Amino acid sequence: MINFKSISEIKDLIFENKNNFFEILESTIEQLESKGKTLNALRFTDKDFAIFQGNKIFSEKNFDLPLFGVPLAHKELFQRKLKGGQAWPNEGGSESRKNLLSDQTAKVISLLDKAGSIDCGRLVSVEYAFGVTGHNEYAGTPKNPWNRTYVCGGSSSGSAAIVASGVIPVALGTDTGGSVRLPAAACGLFGLKPTQGLVSRDGVFPLSTSLDTVGPLSRNVEDIAKVLQIISGKDKNDNLSVKINIPDFLTEMKKGIKKISIGLPKNYFLDGSDKIISDNTVKVFSICEKLGAFIKDISIPNIETANDLNMLLISTEAAISHKKIALEKNKSFNQQTLMRILSGVFTSSEEYKKLKKYRIGFIKNVISKVFEEVDLFIAPVWPCLIPSINESDLGANDKAAHLVRRIGHNTRPINYLGLPAISVPIGFDENGLPLSIQLVGKPFSEDLLLRAAFSLEKEFCFWDKKPKI
């Protein structure tokens, strides 16, 4: 009933006929279960809770709520505690946490509740969110809706698959080294990694406390802006959360990119990507020029170092958070996840302090040199064509290791630098899978990124393109 409908379109259906409210809800849950099974993307639905939440929202008749009656589902890392001692699973995509339950409701989920959305369930994540392809031996590996033999990207793979298949308009994911942008790009979606500190991570299963961010995935920029408006803001329970003036993202989004300066970073990003990727990325700059933007060649100092440092920081902090369970229940882990976590134990506490201190100086240096020249820059998301599920399976393919390491080449440095970024679909590759770029700005420039993404959305009209699942 609501397949491929935006937030506004769903609300319009509800307001046309209030009887549509529960029909939409039940239809969404049915679609979640059917398409979720087909795509290996669904962890669980909770129909009873969804109907309970729907009854509460409907009875209050607060029709002005920005998400009134809109059914959603999110990556399984977002906790939910129910009344009466009940709770949803909090397994982190891993057998090592089987049957563990949420002990709170994530802050962002509470904010979406207050905005009127209906929480229908949870979607597959890579184990501990520690992977870029989407493979998960325990929960199942999600399939790309555009071609089910290919990966969705990770780690917010289930979120990308379900949104791209048209079941729900938006889903939340997490991004530590590319885990929103990579699956969004692989599935033809917009995926926003916000500046760390803009969106609370309280109640979200952690991978790296210095790098984790929470962001939405959607088929259109407007829905990204609407959800970002709701979930942004200071939270005392997140130690990295900051208080800033939150702009009106929907208003800012429509201002266009005339006279905005956009950087073309040939070093690292274009040079490190396959020719078909870099060629299609360069074409986007011509479109931006046509729209009135200024294009400037830039060089990002020592950017290649940021890739390795990001991986080191993730492993170190993953070990701090999860070493105990990794050692106690090592047989319940995928071996690659286990090795990634335990590799971080070799970083001493003194080295860890140095690593964090060095990062602060690194970020200041890049921001002062790059964003004095340009307002934002454009880079590919994937450095290579999206691989098949079999081709990128580390457990079955000896040649997959190099490929898997390479996939995060263009996204990990952005996380290390603490910069906001949004993936934008721009076309298709030779296998019929989406091609995307990412727009990257200075900290807390999400309004500018949404402006640029919205301008490009109108050029590529990707909302008209739907997978045939």
Which positions are catalytic? 75, 155, 179
Cα separation, 451 vs 258, in Å, equals 10
Q: Confirm if 463 and 424 have CB atoms less than 8 A apart.
A: no
Q: Confirm if 197 and 254 have CB atoms less than 8 A apart.
A: no
Q: Which residue's structure tokens are 């009940």?
A: 86
The 3-class secondary structure across the chain, one letter per residue, is: CCCCCCHHHHHHHHHHCCCHHHHHHHHHHHHHHHHHHHHCCEEEECHHHHHHHHHHHHHHCCCCCCCCCCEEEEECCECCECHHHCECECCCCCHHHCCCECCCCCHHHHHHHHCCCEEEEEECCCHHHCCCCCCCCCCCCCEECCEEEEECCCCCHHHHHHHHCCCCCEEEEEECCCCCHHHHHHCCCEEEECCCCCECCCCECCCCCCCCEEEEEECCHHHHHHHHHHHECCCCCCCCCCCCCCCCHHHHHCCCCCCCEEEEEHHHHHCCCCHHHHHHHHHHHHHHHHCCCEEEEECCCCHHHHHHHHHHHHHHHHHHHHHHHHHHCHHHCCHHHHHHHHHHHHCCHHHHHHHHHHHHHHHHHHHHHHCCCCCEEEEECCCCCCCECCCCCCCCCCCHHHHHHHHHHHCHHHHHCCCCEEEEEEEECCCCCEEEEEEEECCCCHHHHHHHHHHHHHHHCHHHCCCCC
Going by their DSSP bridges, the two strands 190-193 and 147-151 should be labelled as: unpaired
